[in-house]
Amino acid sequence: MKRNRFGRALALAVCLALALCASAPAASAESAYRVLYSGEVTTLNYLITTTTNEFSLAANFIDTLIEYDQYGVIKEGLAESWEVSDDSLTWTFHLREGAKWVDGTGSPVAEVTSADFVAAAKYILNARNASSSANVLYEVIEGAQAYYDGTATPEEGADPAPATEWETVGVTAPDAYTLQYKLIAPVPYFLSMTTYVCFMPVYEPFLLEKAEGFGLATGNDTLLYNGAYYLSELKPNERRVLSKNTTNWDAENVFIDAIQYTYNKESTTVAPELFLRGEVDEAGLDSTVAAEWLADPEKADLIRPVRQSDFYSYFYGFNFNPTFDEIYEPENWKIAVNNENFRKAIFYGMDRYGSQAVFDPSNPESIIFNTITPPEFVSLNGLDYTRIGGLEPITALGLDTYDEGKAVEHRDAAKAELEAAGATFPIKALVPYNPILSSWADESVVIEQHLESLLGADFIDIIVWAGPSSGFLNETRRKGNYALQKLNWGPDYADPVTFADPFDYGNNYNFMDKGMTQADGDGLIVDQYYALVAKARAIVGDTAARYEAFAEAEAYLIDHAIVIPLGYGESGYIGTRINPFEAQYAPFGISNYRFKGQRLLDEPMSTDQFFDAYDAWLEAREALAAD
């Protein structure tokens, strides 16, 4: 059996901790971290959501089998140990005894057992519960796909899939402290998957008692908690408070006693001033405010760069099945977007340097990359994934994806083809942005002005639209209420397949599906992409071949301008009283949203302190790698 190992020497760990502490401001004795927020959660049910705003709370409420420390090293969580069978198909986790579920007052309710993980999987794999993360389970767990299909309501006129018994699903609890997952095929990244929401446990008696009321975002009594924090107060659109769970098995490593969130519709505007007055402990700054503060010696020391640690990828997506109002001519847009020359005219005409200068005027290239998968996400024998196979020439282009000559060339070709197809000009392109984020509005205007100037306002009419400030995603992307929109995706686990997920069948990112877009000589473009992804998914025993195949699929998506890669999508500066290098670190999943392990600082971290701490963090990572 292959067993987990934890080989870090105590002396090394102490030295690394001292290095980081020496690089950061002193920790504060105060215990409440005060934050403003403007977007209310729609659910607390972590078993169904994959929305960042929602699972960032769950990350603090619910512990997982394993965790990552601040250097990205796996450590024990609710599981004290684990092993995988010699054929790599059966993973066995041994849970710690004494971990507790608590209610919204912090009072213990029950012990956490292996049955809680089985109950969560059974709930997620019931199609009637409409869990957004069900596919993560049924793509790897034996019997899960058949069970899920058997619970689904068939489409009109179709026969239902045969129902299967839960006992056929490879999630079992041999005893109260032993949990087993049996996989369809070896999954080398399986351990990293267990930090995601669909591998979180739930206390089944409470789940059944609450029924449809489980996880409603109406108060703190619709959940039980076993993590570092519990939700001690929730008043929608007013206030929410995360309080330290003193019964948590690792409570001694939870240093902030409360996270206090106060609702303010204009939080992005008012937070900097409240931060200056010491009334909140965190404030994001847009590019205009950041420039003003950096020019002021006193204010400059109160802010530091945003750490790019969660590996979210931003890209512009074309909507192939628009649902926007007739005034924006959705049928005309469908003709245009299914024309590759039209998409490539926009692809090559997108001045990413100019649009991202809104976020980082001094160094916009630092937040731009050419792929959907971010650099440094995974590597193969030291070679970054974005430089493997078909992605290598795309990455090597740098900022040269912007090409006025190619944009005009494709525009001219598109004109003739679209006229023949019955399209009328200018093509109206609805481009929504979230009005809460002023920098996004500025970015949209830059794109509008540049594309209309380059391609001609008689060819394309970019219609910049301020979407709703509340429920923006539900009303725009998820409804297909856009033509071209900035989208993002965060990885769930450490494998390139996670960045193919938003483009899968029936997705609500760009609403592409089988049979869409023009032929490329070998079949319809989208069908070809899905075939490439299927080929890559099927490779499980050869990491090099698997990465090559996924790189080919991703390159195909980009080469045919189905999406326009952007980069990290945001940067800038933040004022905060926490040291980001004390946070749990992993370029996937939910680890980076946890407050566990972080301390309040006496004073906000400055830019110099940030880079000193970053250098110490890099040195610590290198020392661990060499150990």
- Do 446 and 276 contact (CB within 8 A), yes or no? no
Distance CA 173, CA 579 (A): 39
- Do 312 and 565 contact (CB within 8 A), yes or no? no
E strand or H helix at 56: helix 52-61
pTM reported for the whole predicted model: 0.75
From 181, 200, 189, 162, select the one nearest 90 (Cα to Cα).
181
Span 438-442, average pLDDT: 86
Is 316-567 in CATH node 3.40.50.1820? no
- If one counts every other C-beta atom within 10 angstroms of the C-beta of residue 107, the result is 11
Tell me: pLDDT of 564 over 80. Answer: yes
From 498, 596, 600, select the one nearest 63 (Cα to Cα).
596
- Residue 25 is predicted with a pLDDT of 54
Tell me: pLDDT of 330 over 50. Answer: yes
Beta bridge partner(s), residue 171: 181
Span 206-235, average pLDDT: 97
Span 218-236, average pLDDT: 97
Which pair of tokens denotes residue 451? 């594309």
Which pair of tokens denotes residue 534? 């299927």
Span 277-293, average pLDDT: 90
Distance CA 588, CA 590 (A): 7
- Residue 570 is predicted with a pLDDT of 67
Q: Where are the beta strands (DSSP E) in 222-303?
A: 229-235, 239-244, 258-263, 282-285
- Residue 359 is predicted with a pLDDT of 79
Distance CA 322, CA 333 (A): 8
Which residues fall within 8 angstroms of residue 433, CB to CB, at 6 or more apart?
440, 441, 443, 444, 464, 465, 466, 467, 486
- Residue 18 is predicted with a pLDDT of 39
- Token look-up 């986790």 returns 93
Fold of 1-115+172-306+572-627: D-Maltodextrin-Binding Protein; domain 2 (3.40.190)
- Residue 263 is predicted with a pLDDT of 96
Cα torsion angle, 435, 492, 369, 605, sign:
positive
Percent of the residues in the chain that have a pLDDT greater than 90, as a whole number = 70
- Residue 17 is predicted with a pLDDT of 43
Tell me: pLDDT of 31 over 70. Answer: yes
Q: Tell me the DSSP string of 342-370.
A: HHHHHHHH--HHHHHTTT-TT-GGGGB-S
Tell me: pLDDT of 426 over 70. Answer: yes
Give SS3 for 80.
Answer: strand
Q: Which of 195-204, 215-224, 471-480 has the lowest mean pLDDT?
A: 471-480
E strand or H helix at 564: strand 563-567
Could you report the per-residue pLDDT of 521-535, keeping only the tens digit for each? 666 788 899 999 999
From 466, 459, 498, 513, select the one nearest 485 (Cα to Cα).
466
CATH 3.10.105.10 maps onto the chain at: 316-567
Tell me: pLDDT of 27 over 70. Answer: no
CATH 3.40.190.10 maps onto the chain at: 1-115+172-306+572-627
127, 129, 132, 136 alpha-carbon torsion, rounded to 10°: -50
Give SS3 for 235.
Answer: strand
Could you report the per-residue pLDDT of 105-146, keeping only the tens digit for each? 999 999 999 999 999 999 999 999 999 999 999 999 999 999
| Mean per-residue pLDDT over the chain, rounded | 90
- Token look-up 């029950």 returns 110
Confidence of residue 219 (pLDDT cuts 50, 70, 90): very high
Cα torsion angle, 120, 124, 129, 130, sign:
positive
- Do 74 and 589 contact (CB within 8 A), yes or no? no
Question: In this predicted model, which residue has the larger pLDDT, 603 or 312?
Answer: 603
Strand order through the sheet with 229-235: 32-37, 258-263, 239-244, 229-235
- Residue 184 is predicted with a pLDDT of 94
DSSP secondary structure letter of residue 605: P
Tell me: pLDDT of 452 over 60. Answer: yes
DSSP secondary structure letter of residue 162: P
Could you report the per-residue pLDDT of 135-161, keeping only the tens digit for each? 999 999 999 999 999 999 988 888 899
Confidence of residue 627 (pLDDT cuts 50, 70, 90): low
Terminal alpha carbon distance of the chain: 24
- If one counts every other C-beta atom within 10 angstroms of the C-beta of residue 521, the result is 6
- Residue 5 is predicted with a pLDDT of 33
Span 31-44, average pLDDT: 93
Distance CA 575, CA 558 (A): 36
Question: In this predicted model, which residue has the larger pLDDT, 82 or 26?
Answer: 82
- Residue 182 is predicted with a pLDDT of 98
At 462, give phi and psi (nearest 5°). -80, 115
- Residue 291 is predicted with a pLDDT of 85
- Do 249 and 99 contact (CB within 8 A), yes or no? yes
Give SS3 for 462.
Answer: strand
**Residue type, position 600, single letter:** L
Q: What angle do CA 99, 100, 104 make, to 5 degrees?
A: 150
Which pair of tokens denotes residue 321? 């099945």
At 66, give phi and psi (nearest 5°). -125, 170
CA distances from 111 to 57, 97, 232, 414 (A): 21, 8, 20, 63
Tell me: pLDDT of 427 over 50. Answer: yes
Question: In this predicted model, which residue has the larger pLDDT, 301 or 188?
Answer: 301
- Residue 310 is predicted with a pLDDT of 60
- Residue 526 is predicted with a pLDDT of 85
Q: Tell me the DSSP string of 57-108.
A: HHHHHS--SEEE-TTS-EEESSEEEEEE-TTS-EEEEEEPTT-EEE-TTS-E
Q: What angle do CA 269, 270, 272 make, to 5 degrees?
A: 90
Which pair of tokens denotes residue 50? 């994959």
Tell me: pLDDT of 23 over 60. Answer: no
Which residues fall within 8 angstroms of residue 83, CB to CB, at 6 or more apart?
1, 2, 3, 4, 91, 92
E strand or H helix at 178: strand 178-182
- Residue 154 is predicted with a pLDDT of 87
Distance CA 570, CA 437 (A): 11
Q: What is the rounded radius of gyration, in angstroms, for the C-alpha atoms of the chain?
A: 25
- Do 473 and 479 contact (CB within 8 A), yes or no? no
- Do 261 and 244 contact (CB within 8 A), yes or no? no
Q: Tell me the DSSP string of 40-53.
A: --SB--TTT---HH
Cis preceding-peptide flag for 374 (omega within 30 of 0): no
Distance CA 550, CA 378 (A): 12
Tell me: pLDDT of 12 over 50. Answer: no
- Residue 346 is predicted with a pLDDT of 98
At 60, give phi and psi (nearest 5°). -95, -20
The 3-state DSSP composition of the chain as helix, strand, coil percent (nearest 5) reads 40, 20, 40
- Residue 401 is predicted with a pLDDT of 86
From 85, 80, 270, select the one nearest 187 (Cα to Cα).
85
- If one counts every other C-beta atom within 10 angstroms of the C-beta of residue 237, the result is 12
Distance CA 289, CA 573 (A): 9
Span 342-368, average pLDDT: 88
DSSP secondary structure letter of residue 160: P
